[in-house]
Every structure is written in C-alpha cells, then in structure tokens.
Structure 1
Amino acid sequence: MTKLLTTFLLLLASITALVQQTPEEEIKAFQKHLNEEFANPEESPLTKEDLKSFKELEFFPVDLKYRVKAKLVRTEFTKPFKMATTTDRKPIYRQYGELHFEIDGKLLMLPIYQSYGLMTKEEYKDYLFLPFTDLTNGEESYGGGRFLDLRIPEGNEVTIDFNQAYNPYCAYSGRYSCPIPPKENHLDIAIPVGVKKYKHH
C-alpha cells in the first residue's frame, strides 16, 4: 500500500469518525474546546488573577433528555430591535423564528434571534442566537442566563442540545458587555445541563 493511499484512508477514517460522532462525543468535544479557550490567555475571558488558578470549567452531568428535536416556525417580517445588554450597548437583532419542543411532557417555546451585525459576514450569515433563562439561574447556573449557538437548518427541524449551553463572558469578568435574554426566553423549568455558575477564586 502506498504512503499516499495510507494517508488518504486514515483521513477518510477520521472524517467518517467525525460524521458518526455520538451526542456524548459531541458534548465532550464542546467541553474540551471551551476549556482550551478559557485556558488560553489570548482567548480567555477570565481575569489574570482567575486565569492563574484555572483548571477547568464546571459542567452539569451530561443528560441527553435535554437534547431535543424542536420544530422551527419562522417568523417572517419581524422588525429589528435593540437587545438589552449588561452595559449601554444595544446590538440590533431580529427574531428569526420560534422553537417549539417538549421536555418531560411539557410543551415549551423559545424565540430564536439573528444578529444584524453578523448577518453580513459570510461565515456567520446562517448563525442563530438562542439566549435563555431557566430555574437553575442564580443557584447552580449563572444568574444572567445562558446561550446556545445554532445554524439555520434547511428544513424546519432543529436539534437543541442544552448540554452545550454556555455562559456569557460577563459571568467571568465585568469588563464585557453581554446580551440579556429577553423575558420571552425564560423557561419555567430547570435545565440542569451545560456550563455551571463560575466560582471566582
């Protein structure tokens, strides 16, 4: 077998492995990526003091009950609005649609948004922003809510994996300006997965 063919087969195997990644592997890869970002002084939102003692973020245990299929109902012709943030900054978003899903037999809905600032950038033009609050906020998770990043699907079904919910940078340092989830984005249940509240050292 030629060296080139061996390399090609190894590449093919790694691509296949990537395609066949299980939900658990996806979540672990997300956690690993987040920890690497936070440990990197050039990318980390942590203060210099916190960075010195940083080992890893604390996550809730993985629970695939909180990985759900949602129906996307597009809300066309929605007007742009200024989303409140933790500072005077008011970034412009529009509601792209509503995500309808079920957890523990309870029917739930979250509006999902598109950023005007990102829509013009090629790599982010299909990016959707899902901020939310739930009953863990202020106790086990950050009081200001958490975020999820999604992409515009071809059809009308989206997988929401709350195991990949992360904190805004404001949870780690006061030097950031972060969107505040609109009141419509509150879930009246606990979502005990994803990133936990950060304990400053």
Structure 2
Amino acid sequence: MRYGLLFMLLLAISCGQGKKYHDETTSVSTSGLVADIVEFQEELNESFRDPDTSPLPDKYRKDFEGLEFFEPDTTYVVVAQFVRTPDAIPFMMPTTTERESPEIVYGIAHFTLNGTEHQLEVYQSLDLMDQEEYVDYLFLPFLDETNGEETYGGGRYIDLSIPEGDSIVIDFNKAYNPYCAYNKKYSCPLVPRQNYLRTRVRAGVKNFKKD
C-alpha cells in the first residue's frame, strides 16, 4: 500500500505497503480481472506473513493463515468519470493520532454502483507528489454501509494512479484496511465523511478477527 509507505518512511509509523496499481482499462476480460484480484489477495497475505512488512503484532502473525476477503466480484470494478479539481485548496487530513497529513483533492470520481450514482473525492499527498516513486500516486479512502459489521469500522483504502484521460478504474476488490485495524501503534488517515458510500461494498478485505 503505497500510501502507508509514506508514514513508514517519515515516522516509522504507517498504514500500508507497496502494491500494484490498478491502471485505467476498459477492455479487460472477466477472467483477467478475477486473476488480478486473486493476485492482489495473495500479495497482501504474503506481506502480512513477512515480519518486515506485517502490521500484525507477533502474537497474531505467528499463527497468521490469511486475511478474510469477500469473494472476487467484478461488479465492484467500476469505470468512473474523473473530474480533476486543479483549483482545490490543500488541507490537513486528520489521522488516528495527533499527526495530520497534508493532502489536496486531485479529482472527483463519479460512478454507478449497486444501481445508484455515487461520487468520491480522490486525494494526492503533498508529502509524496515530489517523490519519483509516488509521482502518479492517488489515495482513495472510503466508508460504506458494511463498516462496523462485515468490514473495519473506520473504513478502507484503495490505491490508484493518475489516469491519462477523464476516466479512472476503481476496483473495490482491492480495498484494504488501514494498519490501525490490526495494531494501535500505527497512525492512519481518517476517512472524510464526504467519502461515505450509501451502499454496501461487499468486496475487498473484511474486518480483522483477533480471536
């Protein structure tokens, strides 16, 4: 999770580690999409097993078998109209600690999901935008009606990259939990309320069960 790497580098506190971006595409087969989702799940599980990248405390990692995911569902892969917001004013995004993260709204994604039209703000980190590795990185945090039940109560994140055109692919199957869901020592951005989806997003990582 590229967004999390920022905090590992700056504070030795993070919410994620590197994963593939889901680049813009409109012609990928269903089987190809499912394979890509399965690969994402495998890579995420592998990172959780690795003591160098895992957010899990040792007592959970030693018996870790894998995260719980919703079954891959290509209906949660949406092509959104992407409206850039070049005049947006930078702001400080609150986190779960006293730290604040400097962000700017890079654009707004408009899409249809579960038969309803939605929109989400997509952010660019001011701390990352000048770094070559993250020059095209965008951050999409969101809340939905599964939070606190099937998924983490604080919402989930999706990593994106700047698209070339006026559309962007959002794969909710690649929604992952902030590291705060696993370990309270991490500092994680709070999802803005305007990024609440009034629908159930039954895709991506489920809530972490510590029993």
After TM superposition, the score normalised by the length of structure 2 is: 0.85
Matched, 1:59 2:95: no
**Match 1:155 to one of 161, 165, 169:** 165
* Native 8 Å contact 2:142 2:156 kept in 1: yes
90, 98, 101: which one pairs with 1:91? Answer: 101
Separation (CA, whole Å) in 1 of partners of 2:164 and 2:75: 24
Q: CA deviation at 1:160?
A: 0.5
Match of 1:68 among 67, 78, 82: 78
Q: In terms of Rg, which structure is larger?
A: 1
How far, CA to CA, are the matches of 2:44 and 2:72 in structure 1? 15
Question: Which portions of structure 1, spanning 4 or more consecutive aligned residues, are displaced by more than 4 angstroms?
Answer: none
Runs (5+) with no aligned partner, structure 2: 1-27
- Counterpart among 168, 177, 180 of residue 170 in structure 1: 180
Aligned to 1:141: 151
Counterpart residue type for residue 69 of structure 2: F
Query: What root-mean-square deviation, in Å, do the aligned CA atoms of Structure 1 and Structure 2 show?
Result: 1.2
| Match runs of 1:13-32 below 5 Å | 22-32=32-42
Q: Take 1:170 and 1:190, find their aligned partners in 2: how far apart are those partners?
A: 22
Q: Which residue of 1 aligns with 2:124?
A: 114
Q: Is the 8 A contact 2:114 2:199 kept in 1?
A: no
2:117 partner SS: strand
Q: How many residues align?
A: 183
Counterparts of 2:32 and 2:134 in 1: how far apart (Å)?
Answer: 25
Q: Which runs of 5+ in 1 are unaligned?
A: 1-18
Residue identity over aligned pairs, in percent, reads 51
SS at match of 1:128: strand
> Using the alignment, how far apart are the partners of 1:200 and 1:115 within structure 2?
31
